[in-house]
Amino acid sequence: MRDPSPYRVCFVCTGNICRSPMAEAVFRAHAGEAGLDGLVEVDSAGTGPWHEGDGADRRAIAVLTAHGYEQDHTARQFQAAWFDRLDLVIALDSGHLHELRALAPTPHDAAKVRLLRSYDPDVDPDALGGLDVPDPYFGDPDDFEKCLEMVEAASGGLLDAVGEALAAAPAPRESADAPANDAADAPAAGKEPV
């Protein structure tokens, strides 16, 4: 069992070059603004290997940059072994949700998978498209703008849920024998989720 802090969130879409890197950048910025640096770790991945090693789609980068978000991204595929180290796995559409839950090694791990837009208090789950964030990959820049709007609308609710989980988590116990938790011991960004 891992240490209860930091709280680890991984966003997952299809190829990890559009929706999930956008969600990662937005949520990381919101967590930082909320003073949760060091308490929340944010990551992203794709359900497939098609773009492994690539950066984010240039249109996703352009939209993020235009709205003041920073990103430094390398695409990779989600691995079932990561569930043990993650607190939440945030799917960008219902196809990802089903695929990730099927990949989960245990029912507890499957319960960690949630749809991003389920955290948007104003979304109508019965509307056309439901809780999905549509893939902008085959669209135009406006589709990337709409994607960002959906991500931003859900990020506040997700941040509230993570804050509540952090408040409810037991404080990590320090032992006289245990080494101090040092940032130098942390894995480099862009590697396996920590």
More confident residue, 4 or 74: 74
Mean pLDDT value across residues 78-85: 98
List the single range of 1-5, 52-56, 150-154 with lowest mean pLDDT: 1-5
Query: From the candidates 8, 18, 19, 147, which is the catalytic residue?
Result: 19
Mean pLDDT (the chain, rounded): 89
| 146-171 as b/e: b if 16+ CB within 10 A | ebbebbbbbbebbbeebbeebeeeee
Residue 171 has pLDDT above 80, yes or no: no
Closest residue by Cα to residue 24 from 133, 187, 167: 133
Establish whether 3 is a catalytic residue. no
pLDDT band at 4; cut points 50, 70, 90:
low
Establish whether 18 is a catalytic residue. no
Query: From the candidates 10, 13, 18, 147, which is the catalytic residue?
Result: 13
Establish whether 135 is a catalytic residue. yes
Mean pLDDT value across residues 135-164: 97
Number of Cα atoms under 13 Å in the Cβ half of residue 120? 19
pLDDT tens column, 14-40: 999 999 999 999 999 999 999 998 999
Which residues are CB-neighbours of 180 under 8 A, at least 6 positions away? none
Handedness of CA 137, 54, 15, 20 (dihedral sign): negative
pLDDT tens column, 118-141: 999 999 988 888 999 999 999 999
**Structure pTM?**
0.86
Determine the Cα–Cα distance for residues 139 and 73; give it in Å rounded to an integer: 21
